[in-house]
């Protein structure tokens, strides 16, 4: 199981997450969230070793700006967390890894993802709310049983030390990784390394079972 820690910006905090050996690290380039990177130093992202996939998160951003951010920081992946269509995903497929996020709630039709299948590397299934991620709210993970495509997915939405143990009960063949964010924070964009360390140990144990 892969572990993605999202919503980072503080350089020392980034170093601490690197030491945990996260598989993915997410930096949010959407100013509608308190986890917006702001004037993120290039050196902060460049300090992340090549063993960790550096991911830039966008919400309904234009292609030109996304390209500029990829070039500036040398990102390995992008996460599109808004209403981006398949053509936006296709514009980046092959250049970087493409993660397309969707908010999930009762009645979500996974067949709507068919148009995206050839244009993304991963899906990310978050809780459907009025905001674009980081809500700290969960959804019924049983809904994921309706997902039938072959594209691997990340589980997101309210993952916390209290419910992370239940992740091992998800046996979907395309379950690829977890996205840890708001429930592992001291304050927005400042991760609680002690909580993350416990989570990493728990998930690694699950991997070995």
Instruction: Report the candidate in 127, 179, 181 with the shortest Cα–Cα distance to residue 23.
Output: 179
Instruction: Choose the weakest-confidence range: 1-5, 106-110, 130-134, 147-151.
Output: 130-134
* Model confidence pLDDT, tens digit, residues 12-49: 999 999 999 999 999 999 999 999 999 999 999 999 99
* Host domain of residue 45: 2-208
Helices (H), the chain: 11-19, 42-46, 63-73, 86-90, 193-208
Distance between CA 178 and CA 126 in Å, rounded? 10
**pLDDT reported for residue 206:** 55
The greatest distance separating any two alpha carbons of the chain, rounded to the nearest whole angstrom, comes to: 44
Distance between CA 12 and CA 190 in Å, rounded? 10
* Model confidence pLDDT, tens digit, residues 167-188: 988 999 999 999 999 999 999 9
Task: Output Rg (C-alpha) for the chain, integer angstroms.
Answer: 16
**pLDDT reported for residue 168:** 84
Q: Cβ of 150: how many Cβ atoms within 10 Å?
A: 7
Q: What is the DSSP letter of 93?
A: B
- Mean pLDDT value of segment 87-93: 98
Q: Cβ of 194: how many Cβ atoms within 10 Å?
A: 12
Number of domains in the chain: 1
48, 13 contact by CB (below 8 A): no
**pLDDT reported for residue 131:** 55
Distance between CA 114 and CA 112 in Å, rounded? 6
Instruction: Choose the weakest-confidence range: 50-59, 131-140, 174-183, 186-195.
Output: 131-140
What is the three-class DSSP state of 85? coil
- Mean pLDDT value of segment 102-114: 95
155, 178 contact by CB (below 8 A): yes
Distance between CA 67 and CA 13 in Å, rounded? 26
> What φ, ψ does residue 25 adopt, rounded to 5°?
-130, 130
- 172: CATH: 3.20.20.70
180, 161 contact by CB (below 8 A): no
pLDDT at 207 over 70: no
């Amino acid at each position: 199981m892969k572990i993605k820690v999202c919503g980072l910006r503080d350089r020392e905090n980034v170093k601490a997450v690197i030491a945990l050996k996260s598989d993915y690290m997410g930096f949010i380039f959407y100013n509608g969230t308190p986890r917006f990177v702001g004037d993120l130093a290039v050196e902060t992202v460049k300090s992340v070793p090549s063993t960790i996939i550096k991911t830039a998160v966008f919400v309904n951003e234009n292609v030109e700006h996304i390209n500029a951010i990829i070039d500036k920081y040398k990102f390995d992946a992008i996460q599109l967390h808004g209403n981006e269509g398949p053509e936006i995903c296709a514009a980046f497929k092959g250049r970087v890894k493409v993660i397309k996020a969707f908010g999930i709630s009762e009645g979500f039709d996974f067949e709507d993802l068919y148009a995206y299948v050839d244009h993304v590397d991963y899906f990310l299934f978050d809780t459907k709310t009025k905001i674009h991620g980081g809500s700290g709210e969960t959804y019924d993970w049983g809904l994921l049983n309706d997902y039938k495509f072959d594209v691997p997915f990340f589980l997101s939405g309210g993952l916390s030390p209290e419910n992370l143990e239940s992740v091992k009960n998800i046996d979907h063949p395309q379950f690829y990784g977890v996205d840890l964010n708001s429930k592992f924070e001291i304050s927005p964009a400042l991760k609680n390394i002690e909580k993350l360390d416990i989570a990493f140990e728990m998930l690694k144990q699950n991997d070995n079972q």
